[in-house]
A and B are shown apart, each in its own frame.
Chain A
Amino acid sequence: MTRAALSALLSHWRRHPGQLATLLLGIALATALFSAVQAINGEARASYAKAEARLSPDTPRRLDSPAGRVPPETFLALRRAGWLVSPVYEARLSRGGALVEGYDFLTLPPGALPGLGPTLATTDPASLIAQTPAWAAPETIAANPSLALTPAPGLPPGRIVTSIERARALAPDGGFTHLRLAPESALPMGRPPLVSIAPTLTISAPEGGAEVARLTRSFHLNLTAFGALSFAVGLFISYGAIGLAFEQRRSMLRTLRALGVPLPRLMTLMMAELALLALIAGALGLVAGHLIAAALLPDVSVSLAGLYGARVPGELAFRPGWAAAGLGIALAGALGAGAASFARLARLPLLSGPRPRAWARASAQALRFQALGGGALIALGLFAPVLLPGLVGGFALLGGLLIGAALLLPALLALAIAAAQRAAKSPLAEWFWADARQQIPGLRLALMALLLALATNIGVGTMVSSFRLTFTGWLDQRLASELYVTARSEGEGTRLRAFLATRPEVLATLPIWHVELPFPGGLSGEVYGIADDITYRDNWPLIASGPAPWDAVATGGAALINEQFARRQGLSPGDTLTLEDWSLPIAAVYSDYGNPNPQAIVAIDALTARFPDLPRLRHGLRIAPGDVAPLSQALIEEFGLPPSALVPNGEIKAYSLNIFERTFAVTAALNALTLGVAAMAILTAMLTLSTQRLPQLAPVWAAGVTRARLARLEALRTLALAAFTAAFALPLGLALAWALLSVVNVAAFGWKLPMHLFPGQWALLLATALLTALLAAAWPVAQLRRTAPSRFLQIFASER
């Protein structure tokens, strides 16, 4: 009996291979995207753990003195007592300037400088003994043009890391600021207690490591959110397929029940059937997920290494736990998607007939409930950042917005179509809208999936583009020249400029000269002089500006000020900047990330006229990238300049941009995949509906509308629904971007990014959405076009 029942159940899939494919595809896609993200996260976590285990069995602690400084005698006394401490020297370059940190790399406990790890791995260790480099983030290098600094992108801005000796030379300021202590497992046995050697020192847990952990966690949280979203979209597909299969098999179930198969056994069989299908699809999804993860991991690895200094190997290892989790989620997802069907089966009256059409429609009341639920979720999401701390609140906001909006979508679509229907003039147009409206319930899951995919695309795309635009703008602004040359003396500087003037490949020699002045508000800041050059006009993003700001500056009669100073002093273009006895109207305000100090820009001639003695050593050269190497060589030969006096910033810039491109590539790939899943959802929904739509279409056909016209209208209807959905996705996506930039970013990184809008991107995405919908609809529409007239006639002959 069981066997017969099972064979009867399975025969359904034989007769509906398309439906089987849809179901498998839905679960497989959901599992693939979810498990791809999990694989990436798992790999990253495993490699952090491995790195931590290798580099620092436990994190090095620090010893601080309440006096603020640790005398060298205390360091020696502790070492002589077996306490493995390493001295650290810290001092500011100037008031408010970068923090210079000096370390003894021979005694420094492993893992004490997590941000420098990637840089150290590629540094020639010989240089650490004789001539330790002074490492800094590119921002810090740009902010300290007169220092010979070595880029270390893993370091946070505002820090310079080097040897004790060099740190003291850069910023002379007394003794050691604290000691780092080797982990407990490395300390020798039998040493005297700390208090007997250095009674005033206190041991504390270190800072730093937690920061990297927080940043990488936010990255992984982002990825996980993506994965969960894709999973949900994939499940929409499965839900549709399972529900339809159930409805179509109602007559078969009725027969089986009538033949004496007990309900519990029938339920068990169907659950086993679904579980089997879920496992098969889940396994397929795992393979696909592994492939996706393997393709994305090198980019993720570079992103993490570049952004946070965390090392992740670019190769993917197979982890059994990950596979088990993937299959588990496939199983749980499939059973979850089928829950509603099983609930109906449990209550199935013995003699009820199949009602696939009715199943596909939801009552107006259900839609209202759904809309109310959506509204409530959005409201909850909006309150989440207030109620929940940090990232959790940010993600609750995102979740509330997304799911709420998705639930709200059918009601909104119904409203939009109702409005269109009211505007319709011809009977056919009216029918077109009325039919569209009554299709919403059947298509609602697919459209919700499309909405989520589009909104995520817009939101994440806007975030990443804003991030990139801000960063590249800032980078261009700070590192606009292809080569920076620093002369060692004023005489050499003069000869250098004369030499450069004779070189045809040098397009412009831009002086980078500045003076330090007290600014209003009590902070000292820098005043830079600039030549009137296209470099600045092209590259410096101005936040607020009066008329023709660059012309005003070029005449020497106006100044530009940085955002920080403008905000602090409440200044805007048109106001007056007063530096000691020098007053200039403010022509514009520019953004200046990472600089806590006030800054102003004036014309170089005005600056040198007022400060004739200012150092004139540093220059930025605009040359073709191909000329950087030969010109550097010529300068070294002509002037005997040390390599550190020549900094080709193309490399730094290219490296930094590469990191963002990689991040962008990962995001774009996930975006495209999500959109692909949404397209699949539309296709399967349309296919499902197409078999049931003939009763609606047959009367229209009978009224004289040709099949070709019907097919065109059908395609148009899908386009209209997709367009409406895209129209709703736009504000949702922007809200999402806002939440990412202003809530999640603040929680994860501690700063807010300006949001830039990219209408070109939206247009492209809208076109993609419409194309996606059209492609998804193409097959069902083509089928409709090919439907034999006899089948339309049959509708009237054999109403089910």
Chain B
Amino acid sequence: MSQPLPPSHLAATLVALLLALAPLSTTAQGFAGLGTTAEGFAQPTPGTPLTFPADHAAHPAYRIEWWYLTATLTAADGTPLGAQWTLFRSASAPNEGTNTGWSSPQVWMGHAAVTTPSAHYATERLARGGTGQAGVTAAPFSAFIDDWQMTSTAPAPADPLSALRLTASAPQFTYDLALTASAPLTLHGDAGYSVKSAAGQASYYYSQPFYNVTGTLTLPSGPVEVTGEAWLDREWSSQPLADNQDGWDWVSLSFTSGARLMGFRLRQTDGTAFTSATWITPDGRATAYPDGALTLTPLAESPTSGATVPTTWRVTLPARGVDTTLTALNPNAWMDVSFPYWEGPVTITGSHEGRGYLEMTGYD
């Protein structure tokens, strides 16, 4: 059962407007306004090399950005669980310029969730940039909003993202997790330049899909020791969706073989879709697949506390012999936040076995 905080209607509308900077009357503006125009903001260009650790920090010249972590966990008694930690940055104007402090155009939004087979708890935090309430620092790396943090625990020469401490709290849960990466970062698309539409919309996109997790998850019933795997996505852009795209279905799959698969399907208003995939070997070598190589097909829908969404999927990547079925751990993993969406752990069966995370936007 989902028990989100009652979100402040005003704050929700605020965020809605921030994310959808184009006029509200624009049709087919895509989920959360991500398909809207990006005047004055920097645009991703192919061939720009990503540099670390600098690119772990915020890119205020771009309109939107996120630090997105999902973890498939297992309690000591074998119960499968899921945890999500996300920090979004959204700007109404590029950079901060002279507008610092309480007039900063940067707004931060945090989402944290915990999913069990029978419950889904989601919560949201909002903060204005420039006040110190939320932000991301490069060295030492720390992404935070209020008491939630994703902070590097990696020793000096190692990449800051190779080891993290992750905390979040909500009225119904808290968690404190330690993450260690077993392979290097993965760059999606063309060395991190990830195309999102036939028209050329794109973002910078890299991941760390190889975290091992240990830690404690505190639920209303008490603390639970957990172990598992986690996947971090880093993405920034100014206009990732084309005008004719109204939402996406995204998966991050960890197979028992040690291989990983990232795939997404951007749904277009004419009923077609734009797909993209990255196959990652157990040692971290990535292969990007263009539009059409991956298929994501809904098999069965479930009613949730929000919209009715597909919670069983067929995912194929014939180039790698993948033909799997994804089943939601908890079909009601509805995120009842300013921008409602579905995000929750899935179980993989078929040609490959394993666990992963599914995200579906634009269904409400």
**Do residues B8 and A110 form an inter-chain contact, with CB atoms below 8 A?**
yes
Determine if B93 is an interface residue (Cβ-Cβ < 8 Å).
yes
Give the residues in chain B near A124, CB-CB below 8 Å.
Answer: 17
Expressed in whole angstroms, the Cα–Cα distance for A767 and B174 within the complex equals: 75
Per-position contact with A for B3-34: 1 when CB-CB < 8 Å, else 0?
00110111101101110010000000000000
Give the residues in chain A near B334, CB-CB below 8 Å.
Answer: none
Q: Which residue from B6, B93, B131 sits with its C-beta under 8 Å from A186?
A: B6
* Interface 9-residue window, one of B164-172, B179-187, B250-258: B164-172
Determine if A325 is an interface residue (Cβ-Cβ < 8 Å).
no
Q: Given contacts A107-B126, A107-B127, A188-B169, is CB(A125)–CB(B17) below 8 Å? A: yes
Expressed in whole angstroms, the Cα–Cα distance for A189 and B170 within the complex equals: 6
Most A CB within 10 A of own CB, among B101, B171, B172, B174: B171
Which size bracket describes the interface of B in this complex?
Answer: 35 or more
Q: Given contacts A76-B132, A82-B169, is CB(A164)–CB(B13) below 8 Å? A: no
**Do residues A188 and B10 form an inter-chain contact, with CB atoms below 8 A?**
no
Give the residues in chain B near A75, CB-CB below 8 Å.
Answer: 133
Determine if B105 is an interface residue (Cβ-Cβ < 8 Å).
yes
Give the residues in chain B near A128, CB-CB below 8 Å.
Answer: 10, 14, 17
**Do residues B146 and A84 form an inter-chain contact, with CB atoms below 8 A?**
yes
**Do residues B10 and A110 form an inter-chain contact, with CB atoms below 8 A?**
yes
Determine if B56 is an interface residue (Cβ-Cβ < 8 Å).
no
Per-position contact with B for A168-190: 1 when CB-CB < 8 Å, else 0?
10000000000000000111111
**Do residues B169 and A125 form an inter-chain contact, with CB atoms below 8 A?**
no
Min distance, Cβ A529 to any Cβ of chain B, angstroms: 37
Give the residues in chain A near B170, CB-CB below 8 Å.
Answer: 188-189
Output the nearest chain B residue to A56 by Cβ-Cβ distance: B6
Q: Which residue from A72, A120, A164, A191 sits with its C-beta under 8 Å from B169?
A: A191
Q: Given contacts A54-B6, A80-B146, A110-B8, is CB(A105)–CB(B14) below 8 Å? A: yes
**Do residues B92 and A130 form an inter-chain contact, with CB atoms below 8 A?**
yes
Output the nearest chain A residue to B128 by Cβ-Cβ distance: A106
**Do residues B133 and A105 form an inter-chain contact, with CB atoms below 8 A?**
no
Q: Which residue from A107, A126, A129, A189 sits with its C-beta under 8 Å from B174?
A: A189
Per-position contact with B for A76-88: 1 when CB-CB < 8 Å, else 0?
1001111010000
**Do residues A189 and B6 form an inter-chain contact, with CB atoms below 8 A?**
no
Give the residues in chain A near B173, CB-CB below 8 Å.
Answer: 189
Output the nearest chain B residue to A55 by Cβ-Cβ distance: B9
**Do residues A57 and B6 form an inter-chain contact, with CB atoms below 8 A?**
yes
Give the residues in chain B near A163, CB-CB below 8 Å.
Answer: 102-103
**Do residues B10 and A81 form an inter-chain contact, with CB atoms below 8 A?**
no
Give the residues in chain A near B126, CB-CB below 8 Å.
Answer: 106-107
Give the residues in chain B near A82, CB-CB below 8 Å.
Answer: 146-147, 169
**Do residues A165 and B102 form an inter-chain contact, with CB atoms below 8 A?**
yes
Give the residues in chain A near B107, CB-CB below 8 Å.
Answer: 106, 129
Determine if A476 is an interface residue (Cβ-Cβ < 8 Å).
no
Min distance, Cβ B218 to any Cβ of chain A, angstroms: 6
Expressed in whole angstroms, the Cα–Cα distance for A79 and B146 within the complex equals: 5
List the count of A-B residue pairs having beta carbons below 8 Å apart: 101
Determine if A104 is an interface residue (Cβ-Cβ < 8 Å).
yes
User: Considering the complex, which residues of chain A in the window 123-182 have a beta carbon less than 8 Å from any beta carbon of chain B?
Assistant: 124-126, 128-130, 163-165, 168
Min distance, Cβ B135 to any Cβ of chain A, angstroms: 11
Determine if A461 is an interface residue (Cβ-Cβ < 8 Å).
no
Determine if A108 is an interface residue (Cβ-Cβ < 8 Å).
yes
Count of A interface residues, CB-CB < 8 Å: 37
**Do residues B93 and A130 form an inter-chain contact, with CB atoms below 8 A?**
yes
Expressed in whole angstroms, the Cα–Cα distance for A72 and B131 within the complex equals: 9
User: Considering the complex, which residues of chain B in the window 86-124 have a beta carbon less than 8 Å from any beta carbon of chain A?
Assistant: 92-93, 101-103, 105, 107, 123
Determine if A109 is an interface residue (Cβ-Cβ < 8 Å).
yes
Expressed in whole angstroms, the Cα–Cα distance for A130 and B104 within the complex equals: 8
Expressed in whole angstroms, the Cα–Cα distance for A168 and B131 within the complex equals: 15
Q: Which residue from B8, B16, B146, B218 sits with its C-beta under 8 Å from A189?
A: B218
Interface of B is mostly: mixed
Expressed in whole angstroms, the Cα–Cα distance for A57 and B144 within the complex equals: 27
Min distance, Cβ B234 to any Cβ of chain A, angstroms: 23
Min distance, Cβ A589 to any Cβ of chain B, angstroms: 44
Q: Which residue from A55, A76, A126 sits with its C-beta under 8 Å from B17?
A: A126
Expressed in whole angstroms, the Cα–Cα distance for A188 and B127 within the complex equals: 16
Give the residues in chain B near A110, CB-CB below 8 Å.
Answer: 6, 8-10
Give the residues in chain A near B105, CB-CB below 8 Å.
Answer: 129-130
Expressed in whole angstroms, the Cα–Cα distance for A165 and B173 within the complex equals: 34
Output the nearest chain A residue to B103 by Cβ-Cβ distance: A165
Expressed in whole angstroms, the Cα–Cα distance for A206 and B52 within the complex equals: 48
Q: Given contacts A104-B102, A106-B128, A165-B102, is CB(A120)–CB(B10) below 8 Å? A: yes
Give the residues in chain B near A79, CB-CB below 8 Å.
Answer: 127, 133, 146-147
Give the residues in chain A near B174, CB-CB below 8 Å.
Answer: 188-190
Expressed in whole angstroms, the Cα–Cα distance for A165 and B96 within the complex equals: 15
Min distance, Cβ A189 to any Cβ of chain B, angstroms: 6
Give the residues in chain B near A72, CB-CB below 8 Å.
Answer: 131-132
Expressed in whole angstroms, the Cα–Cα distance for A360 and B218 within the complex equals: 81
Expressed in whole angstroms, the Cα–Cα distance for A330 and B322 within the complex equals: 76
Output the nearest chain A residue to B174 by Cβ-Cβ distance: A190
Output the nearest chain A residue to B23 by Cβ-Cβ distance: A126
Give the residues in chain A near B10, CB-CB below 8 Å.
Answer: 105, 108, 110, 120, 125, 128
**Do residues A189 and B172 form an inter-chain contact, with CB atoms below 8 A?**
yes
Expressed in whole angstroms, the Cα–Cα distance for A54 and B9 within the complex equals: 9
Give the residues in chain B near A107, CB-CB below 8 Å.
Answer: 11, 126-127, 133
Q: Given contacts A82-B147, A106-B127, A130-B105, is CB(A186)–CB(B11) below 8 Å? A: no
Expressed in whole angstroms, the Cα–Cα distance for A549 and B263 within the complex equals: 83
Min distance, Cβ B220 to any Cβ of chain A, angstroms: 8
Q: Given contacts A107-B127, A110-B8, A164-B102, is CB(A80)–CB(B147) below 8 Å? A: yes
Q: Given contacts A130-B92, A188-B169, A189-B173, is CB(A108)–CB(B8) below 8 Å? A: yes
Q: Which residue from B8, B17, B132, B133 sits with its C-beta under 8 Å from A129?
A: B17
**Do residues A105 and B9 form an inter-chain contact, with CB atoms below 8 A?**
no
Most A CB within 10 A of own CB, among B14, B103, B126, B220: B103
Give the residues in chain A near B131, CB-CB below 8 Å.
Answer: 72, 76
Give the residues in chain A near B6, CB-CB below 8 Å.
Answer: 54, 57, 110, 186
Expressed in whole angstroms, the Cα–Cα distance for A54 and B12 within the complex equals: 14
Q: Which residue from A109, A125, A168 sits with its C-beta under 8 Å from B14?
A: A125
Expressed in whole angstroms, the Cα–Cα distance for A587 and B202 within the complex equals: 75
Per-position contact with A for B190-232: 1 when CB-CB < 8 Å, else 0?
0000000000000000000000000000101000000000000
**Do residues A129 and B102 form an inter-chain contact, with CB atoms below 8 A?**
no
Give the residues in chain A near B16, CB-CB below 8 Å.
Answer: 125
Give the residues in chain B near A188, CB-CB below 8 Å.
Answer: 123, 147, 169-171, 174
**Do residues B8 and A109 form an inter-chain contact, with CB atoms below 8 A?**
yes
Output the nearest chain B residue to A168 by Cβ-Cβ distance: B102
Give the residues in chain B near A80, CB-CB below 8 Å.
Answer: 144, 146-147
Most B CB within 10 A of own CB, among A57, A168, A186, A190: A190
Given contacts A82-B146, A191-B147, A191-B169, 9 further A-B contacts (CB under 8 A): A72-B132, A75-B133, A105-B14, A106-B126, A108-B8, A110-B9, A125-B14, A126-B17, A165-B102
Closest 6 CB pairs of A and B: A188-B169, A82-B147, A106-B126, A165-B103, A125-B13, A165-B102
Q: What are 11 pairs between A and B in contact, CB < 8 Å? A: A80-B147, A104-B128, A105-B11, A106-B127, A108-B10, A110-B6, A125-B10, A129-B17, A165-B102, A168-B102, A189-B218
